[in-house]
Structure 1
Amino acid sequence: MNEALTGSVLAAMSTGIGALPILFLKNSISHRWKDILLAFTAGIMMAAATLSLIPEALNYGGILPLSIGLLLGVFTLTLLEKSIPHIDLEHNRKGIEFDQKAMLIVAAITLHNIPEGLSVGVSYASDANDTGNLIAFAIGLQNAPEGFLVALFLMNQKINRFKAFLVATLTGAVEIPMALLGFYLTSIVSTLVPYGLAFAAGAMLYIIYKELIPESHGDGYETTSTYSFIFGLLFMIWLIQIF
């Protein structure tokens, strides 16, 4: 439980760490660098899902729990997407009034962090603690650019820099109770472990293909983003091999 709590806190607080530069940033970063960050984190999450979560789910339960859990993860994210209007943070060039839509965006980002928190919790519930550490690390790396982009968006809506930083940080905080919930449930009911691992993999794969990759290809930097994705993938593979 202590490891799950520590891992979830570190992963969640990565959102705030990513948002930290907003306090010192004078100008917005280029679309090229936004796309590079998004593609790199997509590569990291792809390696974590396919080389850690999916093999662990197979080892614990076999192909049927893997298939059920993975599809449940995908369906859950699909329902979240349909329930919450998605607004493109990266490529929307029109101004958005904060009092009309900014809170909706903050709510959407917060709810999208729920399955990420569950991913960390169920990963720590498995016997392989290395899996929990790797998934927490991967989620943390994904949260950092997300926190930066949310804070940057809020700042562009004339929100105070410190308030933008604080709100972006809080969007990641929901992962902590979700991680503890995921850990608690899978620890009490051990048969849920393979389903939980597969659910986490499905949620991550959905985020990668539905959100991160399309976002990183929205401004004509597809080749640069592709290389960044590959480097992110290799980076995570190196970590898996080392740990």
Structure 2
Amino acid sequence: MNEVIIGSTLSALSTGLGAVPILFFRSVTHRWRDILLALTAGIMVAASMFSLIPQALAASNMLVLCSGVLLGTLVLTVLEMIVPHIDLDHSSLHVKMDTQSLLILSAITLHNIPEGLSVGVSYSSEQQGLGGLIAFAIGLQNAPEGFLVALFLINQNLSRFKSFLLATLTGTVEIFSSLLGYYLTNFVKGLVPYGLSFAAGAMLFIVYKELIPESHGDGNARSATFSFIIGLLIMIYLIEWAG
């Protein structure tokens, strides 16, 4: 139980960690952002394909796996429809911090719920160290997201500190959703393979729909590709080390 709380907290607070640079400057080069996004994509693909999916199959069958993966993809698809896309340049997001902006923050917070569930479910798995690995992967994905959210808030005329604080708070929902996922799968053992499959589907959706396209959009495809492969190898090594 303590491991779940610690892992989910560190993963959630990665959102705030990613927002820390906003306290000192308002921009980041596209090249380094793309490299970080691609590295994260590689880590998340390896976590899904070499940990979550094999564990789900070992505990169930193809029907359960397909159901969970498709459900995770569907949930993220629905959330993606209601969560506005936050671009680094924010060329079209120059409005005051009003009800619309608060709704955007609420939607982004809602988007973090499946990620927290993924962490909690992973801690319920029988594989030693899986929870920590998934928390690490989700945490890496949260860092650039935290920076973009804080950057968006600054463009809504909020102070740097308030922008940092609100960006950090959007990630805290993962702590509660992680505990929910852990309790559900811990007390209803049949849900574990569904939960692992759901987590894999959600992570693969994030990779293919968001991280890879974003990392290739500014002419940095080659460096992003190498970064993706390095991230993949890093996570495979960590999986083998934890196993």
TM-score, normalised relative to structure 1: 0.93
The CA distance in 2 between the partners of 1:149 and 1:86, in whole Å, is 12
In structure 1, what is the equivalent of residue 39 of structure 2?
A: 40
The CA distance in 2 between the partners of 1:92 and 1:215, in whole Å, is 14
**CA drift at 1:109:** 2.1
Structure 1 pair 99/158, CA: closer, same or farther in 2 (3 Å)?
Answer: closer
Q: Which of structure 1's runs of 4+ aligned residues deviate more than 3 A?
A: none
Task: Look up the equivalent residue of 1:72 and give its one-letter code.
Answer: L
The CA distance in 2 between the partners of 1:4 and 1:136, in whole Å, is 9
Structure 1, residues 124-155: CA drift from partner, whole Å, max 9, x if none? 01112311110011111111121122112222
Structure 2 stretches lacking a partner, 5+ long? none
In structure 1, what is the equivalent of residue 95 of structure 2?
A: 97
In structure 2, what is the equivalent of residue 234 of structure 1?
A: 233
In structure 2, what is the equivalent of residue 144 of structure 1?
A: 143
Structure 1 pair 93/226, CA: closer, same or farther in 2 (3 Å)?
Answer: farther
Structure 1 stretches lacking a partner, 5+ long? none
The CA distance in 2 between the partners of 1:17 and 1:74, in whole Å, is 27
Helix, strand or coil at the partner of 2:199: helix
**CA drift at 1:176:** 0.5
Q: CA RMSD in A?
A: 1.6
In structure 2, what is the equivalent of residue 165 of structure 1?
A: 164
- Is the 1:120–1:132 contact (alpha carbons within 8 Å) kept by the matching residues of 2? yes
TM-score, normalised relative to structure 2: 0.93
**CA drift at 1:50:** 0.8
Sequence identity, in percent?
62
- Is the 1:87–1:105 contact (alpha carbons within 8 Å) kept by the matching residues of 2? no
In structure 2, what is the equivalent of residue 5 of structure 1?
A: 5
Counterparts of residues 168-207 of structure 1 (less than 5 Å): 168-207=167-206
